[in-house]
Amino acid sequence: MKKKYYLVPLLGLLSCLLIFSQQVRADVDYDINNVEATARVNKDGSLTMYRQVDYSFDSDARGVFYRQNLNEKQKLSNIQVKVDGKTAVASTTGKNDTYELQKNGNSYRFKVYHRIREDERVKVEYSYMIHNAITNYCDTAELNFKIIGNGWDTDLDYVRATVIFPGRVKGLKAWAHGPLSGYTQVLPGEGKIIMTADDVAGDSGVEVHAIFPTAVTSANKNFVDQDKKQTIEKQEAQLAREANRRRQR
């Protein structure tokens, strides 16, 4: 069954991207045409992430930054970066088609080196695993994740974010938070949540909040010994009422 949910603002994990130019003080003119993010839910409560960002540049640039902020218990592994389909090598040399990864607290920053010319289109892909992304409670499992970050320095023409479960998920409930014009499909029979939006402000982003049976992440060691399902449902009902009031105004 397909359901439509409008997106409402809510704070969450931050992902952000910046552009860096060949000259430190030179401005870079570019658009982000498309952002796609896919999160595959694993039995151990981790997420296998894939992100694709498509740019069109109106000036020269030396590469891009991308930052993934995480919670205290979370970390990244199995990292891979591609530029226009070519695998970038982890390196501190600053050579073309290499990337540096720096960890500062709970933040991971990718610095991707790629020489970009005016009027070029560039596609950058990031793949990695986020550990401890899901929390199992006594009565439900919870995913609360800023799947499209809100730290972009330009608007996003189109975004598509998908959460994929290992199979069908009876009792799957999900809410999306972000621009009011967004569209969300919750598909328990297919084990998917699909969120799309056009013209997303760079400081908005899209957050997915989902609950589902703990059997889906039965190997998850991130466990809290308390009931949480009813609290989450009440919280989301209140947020929906507030969003409707804003929409009416």
pLDDT tens per residue across span 47-56: 999 999 999 9
pLDDT at 193 over 90: yes
CA distance 191 to 195: 14
Tell me, what's the pLDDT at 180?
A: 74
Q: Which residues of 183-198 are buried (b: 16+ CB within 10 A; e: fewer)?
A: ebbbbbeebbbbbbbe
Q: Where are the alpha helices (DSSP H) in the chain?
A: 229-248
CA distance 243 to 124: 34
pLDDT at 142 over 70: yes
Tell me, what's the pLDDT at 245?
A: 76
CA distance 111 to 19: 9
Q: What's the whole-model pTM score?
A: 0.86
Q: Helix, strand, or coil here: 234?
A: helix
Report the half-sphere exposure of 23 (CA within 13 A, side-chain side): 6
Vertex 201 angle, CA 199 and 203, to 5°? 160
Question: Which tokens is 214 given?
Answer: 């703990």
Question: Which tokens is 104 given?
Answer: 């500062």
Assess contact for 162 and 156: CB atoms under 8 A: no
The per-residue pLDDT for range 205-239, each reduced to its tens digit, is 899 999 999 999 999 999 999 999 999 999 999 88
- In the chain, where are the structural domains located? 15-248
pLDDT band for position 160 (cuts 50, 70, 90) = very high
For the chain, report the end-to-end CA distance as a whole number of angstroms. 30
Assess contact for 70 and 107: CB atoms under 8 A: yes
Strands 61-69 and 75-83 come out as unpaired
Burial of 234 (0-12, 13-18, 19+ CB in 10 A): exposed
CA distance 19 to 153: 9
Assess contact for 3 and 175: CB atoms under 8 A: no
Decide if domain 15-248 falls under CATH 1.10.1200: no
Average pLDDT, the chain: 88
Question: Which tokens is 204 given?
Answer: 């908005």
Question: Which tokens is 32 given?
Answer: 């982000």
